[in-house]
Amino acid sequence: MTESQVDRILASVKQAQRALAAFSQEQVDRVLEALHEAALPLCSRWARMAHEETGFGRIEDKTTKNLFAARDVYRYIRPMRTVGFLEADPAAGIYEVAEPMGVVAAVIPSTNPTSTAVYKIMVSLKSRNGVVLSPHPAARICIKAVADVLHDAAVRAGAPRGIVACLENPTIEETQALMRHPLTNVILATGGTGLVRAAYASGKPAYGVGPGNVPAFIERTASVEKAVRDVIAGKSFDWGTVCASEQSVIVDAPLAAEARACFEANGGRFASPKEKDLLEALMVREGHVNPAIVGRSPHAIAAMAGFSVPEETRVLLVEMEGVGSRHPLSMEKLSPVLCWYVEDGWEAACARCIEILEYGGMGHTLGLHTTDLEVVRRFALRKPVFRVVVNSPTTHGAIGYTTNLPPSLTLGCGALGNNITSDNITPLHLLDRKRVAFEARPLPEEDPVPMKPLVSRADRLEDAARTFLEGKLSRGTGEAGRRRSPSAPPRPGAGGDPPLDFVSEAEVREALRGGRRLRIHSGTLVTPLARELGEQHRLFDKA
């Protein structure tokens, strides 16, 4: 593809985006629902395509990642208000209005190709942006398949044709041309450090993500069996291709023998000193991970290194004495190879974790397995990361699969990781906020011009709820808001109330005033402000 073809693609997407920018919230959500419904039945097929094209990971885990993007991300962003007034403070005379950024240049990696494509298309269109995907060359066929299906689904739901596009045979030069192009407004870059630096050097606003050299500490009060199972589940998931997967496990000295036995009983295989040397020689080339081992099984990696492991092996563990260039396996490995450290006490473990993060994971994620809340507090205050995942696999917890973090496949690492944000990226990051500000303190000492409220906060919330509930009613789901979800039948409980399908901030505040709790289920759509307030006051009961 020549640069002139990049010009034509961007011109087409920009024209479509101008039309999408005029959509109402109801129209936007109809498009989003169409993306969701088109993606769900194809998650397994796209996983197989990605595995066959790249050779990375496991089909069943790639299917899970696709479902996460098509279902969990959808459920979280569906009730978001992305059109019109977002916030209103009539007393202060301040109002915020959503404005789409324009055209998103979405760089897609080979490690998580189809799931990242689904996710980036969804968050872009939810915020009324057009999107151009730039696939990693090793995964261009499966990524193009996702883009084509979701483009057609969006168009059938009323979106302008051309709102989603994909570079068919991308090169480094074409990706750079896409990122630098005058019609590109913002970049969502997922990939290696060089790519992220190129995104930030393009002169465009960019959300890039840093590497995830994630340490996981099993502290002496932890449930050892659960902690070990969690670490193995995270590290072996899709054979280590998720940036939030555990790269090192640090075990508190009193638990070392028990934890080692638990790892061995759950598919962990400790490498001998000779095998460690073989792995180092294979996996690290000139200070970088050998691409040949990325996303491969423990058996494939061992065979390439020159030894064999039992069939049931899920993770290869390597005992380590230090961190840094003299200990090359202490870097991010993107494979089911896990470094093993033993430290006596949380202070020593804390220092080791920081060493590991400074060797390539600043700002990303840390795993902590403990029942000591003081240790959690200390780690939260001292660790140079923006996600401390407690008693859960970091692979699943950081992206919001096993935690209540915003479901996302782009994880910011903040200034520590040379990123512009430390957030899990959502559609709200792809919006600019226009602010309307009424005079509050006139320069002469007189009263401001009397004005009625432009819009109230309650009106905005009621409008968001109405949009959602009208959609529910139009699909014949019965009494809005209170009806039981087909996927969550009622269960006996306090008061016998059925779980809610939708919760707004207004409902949370009403429940707080009345001293009531709100029953929700796994599919309940909770607006972000309602979720934050409800969790702060422990208001939700899960059915």
Q: Which residues are catalytic?
A: 243
Task: Determine whether 152 is exposed, middle or buried from the number of CB atoms within 10 Å of its CB (0-12, 13-18, 19+).
Answer: middle
- How far the first Cα of the chain sits from its last, in Å, is 52
3-state SS assignment for residue 2: coil
The dihedral of CA 159, 162, 163, 164: what is its sign?
positive
Taking the C-alpha atoms of residue 252 and residue 259, their distance in angstroms, rounded to an integer, is 9
| CA dist 409 → 76, 208, 301, 356, 486 (Å) | 13, 12, 26, 23, 28
Measuring CA to CA, which residue among 543, 539, 477 is closest to residue 514?
539
- 423-462 in b/e form (b: 16+ CB < 10 A) is bbbbbbbbbeeeeeeeeeeeeeeeeeeeeeeebebeebbe
DSSP SS3 for 495: helix
On whether the CB atoms of residues 113 and 135 are closer than 8 A, the answer is yes
Tokens of 354: 């920081």
Here the tokens at position 142 are 């499966």
Find out whether 107 and 187 touch, Cβ atoms under 8 Å: yes
List the beta bridge partners of residue 94.
89, 437
Three-state DSSP class for residue 457: helix
Which alpha helices (DSSP H) does 339-456 contain, by range? 346-358, 373-382, 394-398
Q: Indicate the residue type of 390.
A: V
Q: How many CB atoms lie within 10 A of CB 13?
A: 26
What sign does the CA torsion over 466, 468, 474, 475 have? negative
CB of 319 closer than 8 Å to CB of 263? no
Alpha-carbon distance of 119 to 121, in angstroms, equals 6
CA distance 53 to 43: 15
Distance CA 369, CA 279 (A): 28
Q: How far apart are alpha carbons 251 and 255 in whole angstroms?
A: 7
CB 375 within 8 Å of CB 391: no
Alpha-carbon distances, residue 446 vs 143, 440, 450 (angstroms): 61, 10, 11
Are 61 and 499 a contacting pair, CB within 8 Å? no
Contact (CB, 8 A) for 65 and 240: no
What is the amino acid identity at position 379?
A: F
